[in-house]
Chain A
Amino acid sequence: KAGVTQTPRYLIKTRGQQVTLSCSPISGHRSVSWYQQTPGQGLQFLFEYFSETQRNKGNFPGRFSGRQFSNSRSEMNVSTLELGDSALYLCASSRTGTGLSGANVLTFGAGSRLTVL
């Protein structure tokens, strides 16, 4: 079955601009999570969506936002970009996102690499 698909894979923006990243989860997966990966901080949790509702949010400023559509596809948006937002943004999906078991571990996409100049 198809994996988690993220678009675009690479993009370059300048400070002050905004960016929208897209994620299509595995078919049947209703939970979508977003993580930011940077060399200094590793992978950090941004937020998690289930049935179009944000259920959990990490410690990121309000410039980072997201949403989920009825087909479980998700987008995240970063407004007023800063140099420090340069990172790999990873999307992950799971069936329900509740409870951890072999059936509910996160499956990650390849990521969207954002460079802010």
Chain B
Amino acid sequence: DQQVKQNSPSLSVQEGRISILNCDYTNSMFDYFLWYKKYPAEGPTFLISISSIKDKNEDGRFTVFLNKSAKHLSLHIVPSQPGDSAVYFCAASAPDSGAGSYQLTFGKGTKLSVIP
């Protein structure tokens, strides 16, 4: 059972336009959400995060929106640049179970291509 879903395997956007990447989750215990970006032959790089007590978080060109009632989050990139072309992973975490540890549950990723 996939708890974090990214239903679009790929997305193509013109340079300068907005990129919107979507993510749905099923586990209502998730309270922290992150986006990672991955280039080929590199590990995922942290991009932006949001706590479940917020509905929006901005960092420069990147904004993440969280809709808890719909169990949906999205990443907006404005304006999109060719260097943004990468695979984007949505990830989520539930509160510490008491073991003093947490794990991230990832979606399968969306490959973004920004066309010059």
Contact = CB atoms under 8 A, between A and B. Distances in A.
Interface of A: 4, 31, 33, 35, 41-45, 48, 50, 55-56, 58, 90, 92, 97-100, 102, 105-111
B63 interface: no
A70 B59 CA distance: 36
Contact of A110 (B41, B49, B91, B107): B41
Interface string B31-74: 01010100001111110010100000000000000000000000
Contacts of B101: 31, 48, 50, 55-56, 97-98
Contact of A105 (B43, B46, B103, B105): B46
B41 A106 contact: no
Nearest to A107: B46
A42 B96 contact: no
Contacts of B89: 42-43
B93 interface: yes
Chain B contact-residue range equals 20 to 34
B11 interface: no
B102 A98 contact: yes
Contact of B107 (A4, A42, A50): A42
B29 interface: no
Interface in B95-110: 96, 99-109
Contacts of A108: 36, 43-45
A48 B103 contact: yes
B22 to A, nearest CB: 15
B100 A55 contact: yes
A60 to B, nearest CB: 12
Contacts of B32: 100
A65 B96 CA distance: 22
Nearest to B107: A42
Most buried by A among B32, B49, B104: B104
A111 B43 contact: yes
